[in-house]
Amino acid sequence: MQVANASAVVVGGGSGIGRGSALGLAAAGARVAVADVDPVTAEAVCAEIAAAGGTAIWSTVDGTDRESLAALAARATGAFGGVDILSSNVGVVADVPLDRATEQEWAWFLELNVLSHVRAVDVFLPHLRAGGGPAHIVLTASMAALVVPAGVGDVHLGLYNATKHAVLGYAETLRGELAGEGIGVSVLCPGMVRSNLSATSARHRPARHGGPMEALAGAAPPGVMEPEGVGPFVVRGIEGNRLYILTHHEAVPLVQQRHTALVEDFTYFAGG
Ligand SMILES: NC(=O)c1ccc[n+]([C@@H]2O[C@H](COP(=O)([O-])OP(=O)(O)OC[C@H]3O[C@@H](n4cnc5c(N)ncnc54)[C@H](O)[C@@H]3O)[C@@H](O)[C@H]2O)c1
């Protein structure tokens, strides 16, 4: 589908990869609803788009709440006459060694990294279908859905890696189920991108999962991709209806290593 003149909703659009996606979609001519649990950042991204000559509205949304997502869908439909593109970006990270992970921590990660996408899709799918034309869903997973880094520095990423793999399986299956309707599904799998993920994960941890907590320390290493760099990949992924949106080509050897290990184990067991 063409992004120009489409209507897009970006959940988690106030910062990082969601912001980069919103800017990229707007630059390609989409009308964009920027939605975030943090209204200040959503409004700021909306203003950035307007300043660059694009069309945007902003809204507060809690991506873990179906009613809040439904209100966002109603607002975007009211403003733009429909929704053609859903970009779903909510996610969390924290340092949790697997042998110490509690059920509550698992529930937090599963809800924010997996169910946030499921809820967004459930709520927006009827709107994407209602347009009657081509539509597209972009679900942000991570490179951690394709390969398993042991950790970044000494940060334990087991909950992150496991839940990002769940997003991959969900997105791949959803793509197959919706293909006949002309609704594309892409899974965005970036490597490191400069963002506020540690801070927003800690700040917005819902009360039912323990409430706000102290953020992981540490800044992104130099040389990471800027969020603005992600937007053009998202546009190309939608327009080319690609299953995987891959922003970090340098990760190819890591993906090959994983597949080599898989084939080696097939070979091992084929040997009897
Ligand atoms: N930054 C990276 O290196 C990187 C790499 C690969 C994947 N990702 C993934 O990209 C996604 C976006 O993360 P980011 O790194 O851009 O972080 P970010 O913190 O900069 O952006 C996340 C946004 O989601 C918002 N948000 C948090 N909880 C929300 C909720 N309940 N409802 C609505 N909005 C909510 C935050 O306010 C924030 O604006 C995540 O799924 C993350 O796992 C990040």
Task: Select which of 160, 170, 244, 268 is catalytic.
Answer: 160
Ligand 1 atom nearest 224 alpha carbon: 3
Residue with the smallest CA separation from ligand 1 atom 42 is: 91
Contact, 183 vs 129, CB < 8 A? Answer: yes
Mutate to test the pocket of ligand 1, among 108, 140, 205, 225 (most ligand atoms within 8 A of CB): 140
Edge-to-edge strand order for the sheet containing 31-36? 55-60, 31-36, 7-11, 85-88, 135-140, 183-188, 244-245
Mutate to test the pocket of ligand 1, among 10, 23, 36 (most ligand atoms within 8 A of CB): 36
Ligand 1 atom nearest 198 alpha carbon: 19
3-state secondary structure of 87: strand
> What pLDDT is recorded for position 72?
98
What residues contact 21, with CB distance under 8 A and at least 6 apart? 10, 13, 87, 89, 138, 140, 188, 230, 231, 234
Q: Encoding tokens for residue 16? A: 């990082």
Q: What does pTM read for this prediction?
A: 0.98
> What pLDDT is recorded for position 151?
61
> What pLDDT is recorded for position 48?
98
Ligand 1 center to residue 263 CA distance, Å? 34
Angle between helix axes 16-27 and 227-239 (nearest 10 degrees) is: 60
Going residue by residue through the chain (272 aa), what tens digit of pLDDT does each one get? 999 999 999 999 999 999 999 999 999 999 999 999 999 999 999 999 999 999 999 999 999 999 999 999 999 999 999 999 999 999 999 999 999 999 999 999 999 999 999 999 999 999 999 999 999 999 999 999 999 975 667 889 999 999 999 999 999 999 999 999 999 999 999 999 999 999 999 999 999 999 999 988 777 777 899 999 999 999 999 999 999 999 999 999 999 999 999 999 999 999 77
> What pLDDT is recorded for position 150?
58
**Does the beta carbon of 84 sit less than 6 angstroms from any atom of ligand 1?**
no
**Does the beta carbon of 37 sit less than 6 angstroms from any atom of ligand 1?**
yes
DSSP state of 53: T
What residues contact 100, with CB distance under 8 A and at least 6 apart? none
Active site residue 268: no
